Amino acid sequence: MMLNKKEEKSEAAQLREKLFRNKKNGCVKVSADEIKKADEYCEEYKNFLNRAKTEREAAAYAVEAAEKAGFVEYDRKKKYAPGDKVFVNNRNKAVMLAVMGKNGTHNGVRLGIAHIDSPRLDLKPNPLYEQNNLALFKTHYYGGIKKYQWPTVPLSLHGVIALKDGSSITVNIGEKEEEPCFCVTDLLPHLAVEQMSQVMTKAFNGEHLNVLIGSRPFNQDDESENVKLNIMNILFEKYGITEDDFLSADLCMVPSTKARDLGLDRSMIGSYGHDDRVCAYPALTAAIDAEMPESTIITVLTDREEIGSDGNTGMKSTFMFDFISDLASADGEEVRHVMAKSTCLSADVNAAFDPTYASAFEANNSCYINNGAVITKYTGSGGKYSTSDASAEYMAYIRKVLDGKNVLWQTGELGKVDGGGGGTIAKFVANLNADVVDLGVPVLSMHAPMEIVSKLDVYMTYRALYEFYMYK
């Protein structure tokens, strides 16, 4: 049979295939079966998003899932064997899961670290006030938000109120359809001539983020603050709390919207809090699925990342290092020798290229929706300031791990040089003398009340973490 000339690849095409990176859409590089698996995997991820809107709720979900999978609370006096599964609950706000490896900690440990806190509106210690017959909560935003995005979004109230008797009350109002929601108001366009002419940071500032929570007075006499009194009375009847109890509470407002499929092709998920639950869920499920790894694997779901990782549940705390110290001494190792041989995937998101805001990105070095898990060699700003920057050797190792198992992945830089910047927990782990690189999911509209990710990318991040854990 004669060869159809058109089907024969030109020399240039063959060379291109051999020498150039394959930049095709990730969806055409993977099988239909793999896309189906991604869709299935993301069903429970959506439930996780809806159940775990704060670090406390995510930590509770992780502990419950871990216990169901046979993980038991770590006891440093106990002896553990390869394959044993343990967890550590740090103050109900950060969780570590470990699966003991065949070699224990002797060749270092493999770390997968994601954060479970997300930008939100925290209530101030004295939140409740009444003004012009409306009751409102004062808030102090947590993490990097564009403040103008938060008014007119339905909000729900989450958190805990700790009481002097040692007990604590879990608060969750506004998630269910039949429950009330809350809202930050905005000025009508008719009267916003002055507001609209201001720069964004001035037009809507932190003290504008007041949440409307009530409008009816306690009764019809004309004593002052009756609307506030009515709200406090509702809270007293529901929780038995008085105004002083706000002083010992962690309460916040988050969008009350649910995670849902996005796009006619249902290829994406729109939700509050993808950053960084979209990496925390893959890290958690990879830890649960990892049976008998070579080296001990530790999954850390940490808190405080969005505000710089300070605090006893954040990655600047010693809680992970102390845990590794305990594991090392049980193996007769010095923790410093274990750390020097340890490897880490800092599982965090990157900004997906957005064609509507193309000028903020550098197209050759951006990550894209549907091109798989994104590896971010360095973050930082102003000339790679404040980032660990993974070494060439470690990048080669990760390429080998992922390519060997056909995990779809890409690289990404956070926007244009000098366009802004950001950071992850990678540098704190690198400072402990381990090898680390960021790997996670590309996100559109990061830090907005609704962020967007691709289902295929979520699944590939799970696969990347799993293969990294199980690599021999």
DSSP per residue, 107-152: T--EEEEEE----EEEEEEEEEEEETTEEEEEEEEESS--GGGSTT
- CA separation for the pair 361, 380 (Å, rounded): 15
CB 113 within 8 A of CB 203: no
The least CB distance from residue 279 to Mn ion, in Å, is 8
The least CB distance from residue 27 to Mn ion, in Å, is 25
Q: For residues 279 and 290, which CB has a smaller minimum distance to Mn ion in the complex?
A: 279
- CA separation for the pair 107, 85 (Å, rounded): 18
The least CB distance from residue 305 to Mn ion, in Å, is 6
- CA separation for the pair 453, 457 (Å, rounded): 7
Q: For residues 90 and 302, which CB has a smaller minimum distance to Mn ion in the complex?
A: 302
Q: For residues 130 and 348, which CB has a smaller minimum distance to Mn ion in the complex?
A: 348
Which pair of structure tokens corresponds to residue 364?
Answer: 């050759």
Q: For residues 122 and 348, which CB has a smaller minimum distance to Mn ion in the complex?
A: 348
Count the residues in the chain: 472
- Give 79's Cβ-side CA count (13 Å radius): 2
Query: Is the bond preceding 276 in cis, omega lying within 30 degrees of 0?
Result: yes
In the complex, which residues of this chain contact Mn ion (CB under 5 A)? 275-276, 348
- CA separation for the pair 401, 469 (Å, rounded): 10
- Pairing relationship of beta strands 442-443 and 350-351 according to DSSP bridges: parallel
Q: For residues 130 and 276, which CB has a smaller minimum distance to Mn ion in the complex?
A: 276
The least CB distance from residue 436 to Mn ion, in Å, is 15
Three-point CA angle 230, 236, 238, nearest 5°: 105
Q: For residues 184 and 279, which CB has a smaller minimum distance to Mn ion in the complex?
A: 279
Mark out the alpha helices in 250-341 (DSSP H runs).
274-289, 319-330, 335-340
- CA separation for the pair 345, 300 (Å, rounded): 11
Q: For residues 250 and 438, which CB has a smaller minimum distance to Mn ion in the complex?
A: 438
Residue 296 φ/ψ, nearest 5 degrees:
-60, 135
- CA separation for the pair 463, 439 (Å, rounded): 11
The least CB distance from residue 162 to Mn ion, in Å, is 27
- CA separation for the pair 116, 94 (Å, rounded): 8
Q: For residues 84 and 275, which CB has a smaller minimum distance to Mn ion in the complex?
A: 275
The least CB distance from residue 458 to Mn ion, in Å, is 14
Could you tell me which residues come within 8 angstroms of residue 307 by beta carbon, excluding any fewer than 6 positions away? 117, 142, 143
Which pair of structure tokens corresponds to residue 157?
Answer: 């109230």
Q: For residues 303 and 348, which CB has a smaller minimum distance to Mn ion in the complex?
A: 348
| Sheet with strand 268-271: strands edge to edge | 260-262, 268-271, 451-454
DSSP per residue, 157-194: EEEEEE-TTS-EEEEEESSSTTS--BEE----GGG-HH
The least CB distance from residue 276 to Mn ion, in Å, is 4
Q: For residues 371 and 424, which CB has a smaller minimum distance to Mn ion in the complex?
A: 424
Which pair of structure tokens corresponds to residue 127?
Answer: 């939140």
The least CB distance from residue 169 to Mn ion, in Å, is 29
The least CB distance from residue 120 to Mn ion, in Å, is 11
Q: For residues 349 and 460, which CB has a smaller minimum distance to Mn ion in the complex?
A: 349
CB nearest Mn ion: which residue?
A: 276
User: Residue 142 pairs with which residues in a beta bridge?
Assistant: 120
Q: For residues 130 and 305, which CB has a smaller minimum distance to Mn ion in the complex?
A: 305
- Pairing relationship of beta strands 183-184 and 211-214 according to DSSP bridges: antiparallel
- CA separation for the pair 154, 255 (Å, rounded): 6
The least CB distance from residue 38 to Mn ion, in Å, is 21
User: Residue 183 pairs with which residues in a beta bridge?
Assistant: 212
The least CB distance from residue 261 to Mn ion, in Å, is 23
The least CB distance from residue 352 to Mn ion, in Å, is 13
